[in-house]
Structure 1
Amino acid sequence: MTEPTDSTPLARPRRRRVIQAAALTAGAVALPLTAAGGTATAAPAPQFLHGVASGDPLPDGILLWTRVTPAPEAVPGSGAGPDTDVRWELATDRNFTTIAASGTVTASAASDHTVKADVRGLRADTAYWYRFTAGGATSPVGRTRTAPPADAHVPHLRLGVASCANWEAGYFSAYRHLAARGDLDAFLFLGDYIYEYKTGEFCARGTVVRPHAPAHEILDLADYRTRHGRYKTDPDLQALHAAVPTIAIWDDHEFANDAWSGGAQNHTPGTEGNWTDRVAAAKQAYFEWMPVRPSIAGTTYRRLRYGKLADLHLLDLRSYRSQQAKVGSGDIDSADRTMTGRAQLDWLKSGLAASDTTWRLIGNEVMISPVAFLSLPDYLLRPLAQLLGLPSEGLAVNPDQWDGYTHDRRELLGHLKANAIGNTVFLTGDIHSAWASDVPYEAATYPGSGSAAVEFTVTSVTSDNVDDFLKVAPHTLSLLAVGAIEAANPHIKWVDLDSHGYGVLDVTPDQVQMDYYVLSDRTRQDATTQWARSYRSRTGTQQVERVWSPVR
Structure 2
Amino acid sequence: MTNFTRRQVLRSAGVAAVAGAMVSGTAASGFSASPGGAFCHGVASGDPMADSVLLWTRVTPAPAALPGTGLGPDVSVGWEIAADAGFKKIVARGTAATGAARDHTVKVIAGRLAPATNYWYRFKLGQAVSPAGRTRTAPAAGAAVDRLKFGVVSCANWQAGYFSSYRHLAARGDLDAVLHLGDYLYEYGPGEYQARDVVVRPHEPAHEMTQLAHYRRRHAQYKTDPDLQALHAAAPFIVTWDDHESANDAWKGGAENHTEGAEGAWMERVAAAQKAYAEWMPVRYEPGGQLYRRLDFGSLASLSMLDLRSYRDQQAANGADPSVSSPARTITGAAQMDWLLGNLKSTGPQWKLVGNPVMIAPVRVPSTLNTAELAGVQKLMGGRSISGVPYNVDQWDGYEADRNRVVRHLRDNAVKDTVFLTGDIHSGWACDIPADPASYPATGDSVAAELVCTSVTSDNLDDILNVPPRTASVGVENAIKAANPHVKYLDFDSHGYSVLDVTAAGVRMDWFVLAERTSASSGATLSTSFNVQANSGKVTPTQGGLQ
- TM-score, structure 1 normalization: 0.92
Whether the 8 Å contact between 1:35 and 1:41 is mirrored in structure 2 is: no
Distance 1:518 1:150 in 2: 35
2:324 to 311, 321, 332: 332
- Map of 1:192 onto structure 2: 183
- Map of 2:374 onto structure 1: 381
Secondary structure of residue in 1 paired with 2:219:
helix
Structure 1 residue identity aligned to 2:59: V
Whether the 8 Å contact between 1:37 and 1:77 is mirrored in structure 2 is: no
Distance 1:409 1:325 in 2: 15
Whether the 8 Å contact between 2:360 and 2:397 is mirrored in structure 1 is: yes
- Map of 1:17 onto structure 2: none
Structure 2 residue identity aligned to 1:64: L
Tell me, which stretches of 5 or more residues in structure 2 are unaligned? 1-15, 27-31
Structure 1 residue identity aligned to 2:100: A
Once the two structures are superposed, the pairs formed by residues 238-253 of structure 1 within 5 Å of their partners are 238-253=229-244
- Map of 2:87 onto structure 1: 96
Distance 2:347 2:72 in 1: 47
Distance 1:101 1:128 in 2: 11
- Map of 1:455 onto structure 2: 450
Tell me, which stretches of 5 or more residues in structure 1 are unaligned? 1-33
Once the two structures are superposed, the pairs formed by residues 147-296 of structure 1 within 5 Å of their partners are 147-294=138-285
- Map of 1:491 onto structure 2: 486
1:362 to 329, 354, 360: 354
Secondary structure of residue in 1 paired with 2:254:
coil
Measured against aligned partners, the alpha-carbon deviations of 1:465-488 in whole angstroms (never above 9, x if no partner) come to: 111111110010111210110110
Distance 2:431 2:352 in 1: 16
Whether the 8 Å contact between 2:317 and 2:384 is mirrored in structure 1 is: no
Structure 2 residue identity aligned to 1:513: R
- Map of 1:36 onto structure 2: 18
Whether the 8 Å contact between 2:378 and 2:391 is mirrored in structure 1 is: no
Once the two structures are superposed, the pairs formed by residues 518-529 of structure 1 within 5 Å of their partners are 518-529=513-524
Structure 1 residue identity aligned to 2:223: K
Distance 1:466 1:367 in 2: 17
- Map of 2:64 onto structure 1: 73
1:400 to 394, 397, 400: 394
Whether the 8 Å contact between 1:311 and 1:355 is mirrored in structure 2 is: no
Whether the 8 Å contact between 2:278 and 2:287 is mirrored in structure 1 is: no
Distance 1:147 1:296 in 2: 25
TM-aligned CA deviation for residue 299 of structure 1: 2.9
Distance 1:35 1:417 in 2: 52
1:444 aligns with 2:411: no
Structure 2 residue identity aligned to 1:432: H
Structure 2 residue identity aligned to 1:343: A
Structure 2 residue identity aligned to 1:494: Y
Identical pairs, percent: 55
TM-aligned CA deviation for residue 496 of structure 1: 0.3
- Map of 1:141 onto structure 2: 132
Distance 2:115 2:521 in 1: 37
TM-aligned CA deviation for residue 294 of structure 1: 1.3
Measured against aligned partners, the alpha-carbon deviations of 1:390-416 in whole angstroms (never above 9, x if no partner) come to: 436611421000000000000111011
Distance 1:64 1:183 in 2: 20
- Map of 1:433 onto structure 2: 427
- Map of 2:363 onto structure 1: 371
Measured against aligned partners, the alpha-carbon deviations of 1:222-249 in whole angstroms (never above 9, x if no partner) come to: 0000000000000000000000010000
Measured against aligned partners, the alpha-carbon deviations of 1:30-73 in whole angstroms (never above 9, x if no partner) come to: xxxx9724412655654100000000000000000000001111
- Map of 1:14 onto structure 2: none
TM-aligned CA deviation for residue 355 of structure 1: 4.2
Distance 2:481 2:518 in 1: 30
Measured against aligned partners, the alpha-carbon deviations of 1:73-126 in whole angstroms (never above 9, x if no partner) come to: 111101001111100000011111111000000120001000011111111111
Secondary structure of residue in 2 paired with 1:303:
strand
1:123 to 103, 114, 117: 114
Whether the 8 Å contact between 1:144 and 1:244 is mirrored in structure 2 is: yes
Measured against aligned partners, the alpha-carbon deviations of 1:429-464 in whole angstroms (never above 9, x if no partner) come to: 001000000011111111234101000000000000
The Cα RMSD (Å) is 1.4
Relative to structure 1, is the Cα distance of residues 286 and 355 closer, same or farther in structure 2, using a 3 angstrom cutoff?
farther
Structure 2 residue identity aligned to 1:434: G
Distance 1:139 1:41 in 2: 13
- Map of 1:6 onto structure 2: none
Whether the 8 Å contact between 2:377 and 2:390 is mirrored in structure 1 is: no
Whether the 8 Å contact between 2:17 and 2:202 is mirrored in structure 1 is: no
Whether the 8 Å contact between 1:367 and 1:402 is mirrored in structure 2 is: yes
Relative to structure 1, is the Cα distance of residues 63 and 281 closer, same or farther in structure 2, using a 3 angstrom cutoff?
same
Q: How many residue pairs align between the two structures?
A: 519
Measured against aligned partners, the alpha-carbon deviations of 1:149-174 in whole angstroms (never above 9, x if no partner) come to: 01101000000000000000000000
Relative to structure 1, is the Cα distance of residues 123 and 479 closer, same or farther in structure 2, using a 3 angstrom cutoff?
same
Secondary structure of residue in 2 paired with 1:270:
coil
Relative to structure 1, is the Cα distance of residues 67 and 525 closer, same or farther in structure 2, using a 3 angstrom cutoff?
same
1:346 aligns with 2:328: no
- Map of 1:541 onto structure 2: 536
Distance 1:219 1:114 in 2: 20
- Map of 1:511 onto structure 2: 506
Relative to structure 1, is the Cα distance of residues 35 and 72 closer, same or farther in structure 2, using a 3 angstrom cutoff?
farther
Distance 2:217 2:164 in 1: 22
